[in-house]
Amino acid sequence: MEDQIRLNFNPQSLMVLNVILGLVMFGVSLDLKVSDFRGVFEQPRAMAVGLLAQLVFLPAVTWVLVWLWRPSPSIALGMFLVAACPGGNVSNFLTHMAGGNTSLSVSMTAVVSLVAVILTPWNFAFWAGLLPETAKAMQEVHVDFWQMFQSVLWLLLLPLVLGMLVAARASHWAARIRGPFQVFSLVAFAGFVVLALANNWSHFLRSLELIFVLVAIHNGLAFLTGYVSGWLGRLDVLDRRAVTIEVGIQNSGLGLVLIFNFFDGKGGMAIIAAWWGVWHLIAGSSLALYWSQDKRRASGAANGADGADGRA
């Protein structure tokens, strides 16, 4: 059923979404410096584990979930595309909130956003092409992956470079606008997603139960992939938290733009990406809040022990 859905979305709305996503990425890059890319060398094991989890393990886990569940081709394509996208733009804030290694989170965001220009189209094409149903669906819409590469280049790399240039050349001005700009761009994107869902509410309701369960499981597996990767890689607690959140928070906004640019608003894909954008914030915030409470409990226990030692 989802394969036949075409969402109500016009070229003007698509242009607005492209601009909003560019603004979001520009706002994110105001926090990035060239030195953030040095994390690859300064924390090599943690970065290697994080990048493998984000770029290899998550798409592979998604393929296994699709193979076991066998959703409709458009739903499966949406899952593959979300898994192929780089990390989302709130991962650094959530990592900080969770008491994780924020510098590792920022470094992963910077590196993954850069390599996503190539790896997002490639990962999507590779994993979706391994299943006959999704391979056929891609052929039916005649996806030009060079065009997809160019689209990701403009949507990710250009705002990333511009934001970093502004932060480097006009640091005082960038520091003043960073907070308000990031809040504005994220609120604008969230508002756009809400309006898009509202305008297509009847389509969303038809698949609500399936989409809700599937996205919750998929996103849960993403967080689990990050955590287990960190555990197997013998990362410390703070690094594991950073990797977990980076892998669980995906840039579904980029996924939405690509869906409307290249898949004619294919309903199942768009609904997956839109609901993922809502759900990963709920799940990620809940996990970060839990870990932040854990951090406070540990701090309180340590202070209590120090007080007891002092009295003794």
The predicted structure's pLDDT at residue 305 = 40
Q: 96-108: buried (b, 16+ CB within 10 Å) or exposed (e) per residue?
A: bbbbbbbbbbbbb
Residue where the block lists tokens 């990962």:
123
- Render each residue's pLDDT in the chain as its tens digit; 312 residues: 444 445 555 556 667 777 777 777 787 777 777 776 666 677 789 999 999 999 999 999 999 999 999 998 889 999 999 999 988 768 878 888 898 988 888 888 888 888 888 888 899 989 999 999 888 888 776 666 677 777 777 777 788 888 888 888 888 888 888 777 767 776 777 777 677 666 666 666 666 678 889 999 999 999 999 999 999 999 999 999 999 999 999 988 788 878 877 776 566 788 888 888 888 888 999 999 999 887 554 444 334 444 444 444
Burial class (CB in 10 A: 0-12, 13-18, 19+), 264: middle
> In angstroms, how far is CA 20 from the centroid of its own chain?
16
Tell me what pLDDT residue 53 has: 96
- The helix/strand/coil state of 87 is strand
Residue 255's closest CA among 196, 183, 202, 206?
Answer: 196
The structure tokens 């990710």 sit at 156
Yes or no: say if 100 and 235 are a contact pair by the CB < 8 Å rule. no
Instruction: Tell me the DSSP string of 17-46.
Output: HHHHHHHHHHHHHTT--GGGGGHHHHSHHH
DSSP state, residue 101: -
Global pTM value? 0.80
The per-type count for the chain, helices as H runs and strands as E runs, is 16, 0
Give me the domains of the chain, ranges plus CATH numbers: 2-186+199-302 (1.20.1530.20)
